[in-house]
Structure 1
Amino acid sequence: MANPNWRVKRQFGGRWQKRLSTRYGPWALVTGASSGIGREMVLRLAEAGINLVLIARSQTVLEQMAVALTSQHGIEVRVFVLDLSLAAGVETLVVATQDLDIGLLVAAAGFGTSGLFLNSLLEQEMEMLNVNCRSLLELIWHFGQRFAMRGRGGMVLMSSIVGFQGMPFAAHYAATKAYVQALAEALYVELAPMGIDVLAAAPGPTHSGFATRAGMQMGMALKPEDIALPILNALGRRSVLLPGVLSKLLTYSLVPLPRWSRVQIMGGVMGSMTKHQRGTIADLAEVE
């Protein structure tokens, strides 16, 4: 069976593996490694011969991946089953990986919510804040220290096109991605003199399991296998990447508009994707 990623790989030639391995090896740590964009990143890094630390909540999936990657690519793989919404998750990970020369952090873990903000569950919103922002901050700080000491390293931080303006009906999710976007852009400049590359990858709608958890119905969407390698290839070459034609189209078409107008348009887009599950504030009052 033909490899579905052959066109993407041909675009970057045969040198991308060596570049990734030389600059960011010998170990990479990937959160959200069991599915979606994170999983595709893992596969590309394994092809480059980089040893991997895989982080997710699904032990069975991670263990199966570890066996396959070790067999196919001859690399070392360590698996950590962690819930990054919990305060102790990152600290546990930092201690457990002290013996590894990790040179790359791919922070792909994250999830979203959608619908009317006042209808949301505060506990779930706090969980999203912890995964998308708090744990990310801890990972960047801890591994940034390591990278600075070794004089080189890289960080891929998953932003989103929704992080460039407010987004009604996914208000808090968009806010968490705005946090990631702003942090990544600043650290790209701040950490460069230390030999640390930082990239904000801001994809558009992607078939990754995200929409199901967020309660969204998507039409056109990107495929994780088509954007993973372009994201890794952009690391060290730019601060922000809009992977895929769809991401660029959705973002650049809004650039000439005033911010308030972009918010209204994005709210209309998200509203159409969430109307099937969106109730009213009155409905919430009746439930309470």
Structure 2
Amino acid sequence: MKDLRTQYGQYAVVTGASSGIGEQFARRLAAAGVNVVLVARREERLEALAAELSRLHGTANIPLALDLLAPGAVDDLWQRVAGLDVGIVVANAGFYFAGPLTANPLADELDVLTLHTAVPLRMAHRFGRAFAARGRGAIVLVSSSIAASAVPYEANYAAAKSYVLSLGQALHHELKGDGVDVLVVSPGQTQTEGLDSAPGIDFSRLSGAKMPPARVADAALAGLGRRAHVVPGAMNVLTDVLTKYVLPRRLSARMYAAILRPALTAEPRNAPSAG
């Protein structure tokens, strides 16, 4: 792995760091000698992870319990890390929400939209401006392998992830001349707590193996500075190509509906933890 600390800065900010993909980003970055600011809502988990990474790698990690859905949360995050040499930002926080859109609480769907679009936008703007001013830095945005299609029963989530993909690919070109690397990673089904507890759908009813979250983090960090977009896993790459370039949009929507409909549940849909 490249020397991330020398190339970008001494600290990385990782949101959604208490589990899953965010936790694996934190582990990989600490192993590379980068101090990690661990951001999520579950303070005890963050403190335990920060201590473990410090013990394993000698890094000075900072647990930062923060609800990114709270008004002004990104500004608060910015102020708390303002004195640090932050060079990498991983905007990973989110939660999975499925089921017929009109059966879900509107407030929860709006939270999905905020956490998956407005929060990454605010982070990219805040940190991207600072990185460009100093001539170095990296931003990783987490999208999804379903971002290329309209997806019934994941309509709002897929649309939000499509926004992230478009935003990140555009910023990759806007900021590369300023020395800032921007990458979007689009994982498919990944073994995370959020997926296991996703309201509205039972993923155990779907075929196909779930990818380890470490593989997602590894693919993203390997592609950072080299590519604008990474899709981990051969089957996910195939799906991405099919839904982008081969299948008409109406057919890909029907395909996803047929895949997801048998996995829908009738359980109450309350938004899970966002980390």
TM-score (norm. length: structure 1): 0.87
Aligned counterparts of 1:89 and 1:146: Cα–Cα separation in 2: 18
Residue of structure 2 in register with 1:8 after alignment: none
Residue of structure 1 in register with 2:145 after alignment: 161
Larger gyration radius, structure 1 or structure 2:
1
Aligned counterparts of 1:215 and 1:55: Cα–Cα separation in 2: 27
Find the residue that maps to 1:243 and give its secondary structure: coil
Per-residue Cα deviation, 1:233-253 (whole angstroms, up to 9, x for no partner): 101111111112232233234
Map 1:52-91 onto structure 2 (within 5 A).
52-91=36-75
* Equivalent pairs, count: 262
Q: Does the 8 A contact of 1:32 with 1:55 survive in 2?
A: yes
Counterpart of 2:98 in structure 1: which amino acid? S
Find the residue that maps to 1:163 and give its secondary structure: coil
Find the residue that maps to 2:14 and give its secondary structure: strand
Aligned counterparts of 2:235 and 2:214: Cα–Cα separation in 1: 15
Counterpart of 2:112 in structure 1: which amino acid? M
Residue 278 of structure 1, CA deviation? 7.5
Q: Does 1:271 align with 2:261?
A: yes
Find the residue that maps to 2:266 and give its secondary structure: coil
Q: Does 1:43 align with 2:23?
A: no
Structure 2, unmatched stretches of 5+, are 269-275
Residue of structure 1 in register with 2:174 after alignment: 190
Residue 227 of structure 1, CA deviation? 2.2
Aligned counterparts of 1:52 and 1:85: Cα–Cα separation in 2: 21
Structure 1, unmatched stretches of 5+, are 1-15, 280-288
- Which aligned runs of 4 or more in structure 1 are off by greater than 6 angstroms? none
Map 1:237-256 onto structure 2 (within 5 A).
237-254=226-243, 255-256=245-246
Q: Judging changes above 3 Å, is the alpha-carbon distance between structure 1 residues 258 and 278 closer, same or farther for their aligned structure 2 residues? A: farther
Per-residue Cα deviation, 1:138-184 (whole angstroms, up to 9, x for no partner): 11111011101210111110010111111001100011101101101
Percentage of matched positions with identical amino acids: 36
Q: Does the 8 A contact of 2:98 with 2:198 survive in 1?
A: no
Aligned counterparts of 2:99 and 2:123: Cα–Cα separation in 1: 29
Q: Compare the two structures and name the one with the higher helix fraction.
A: 1
Q: Please give the root-mean-square deviation of Cα atoms over the aligned residues, in Å.
A: 1.5
Find the residue that maps to 2:46 and give its secondary structure: helix
Residue of structure 1 in register with 2:216 after alignment: 227
Residue of structure 1 in register with 2:188 after alignment: 204
Find the residue that maps to 2:183 and give its secondary structure: strand
TM-score (norm. length: structure 2): 0.91
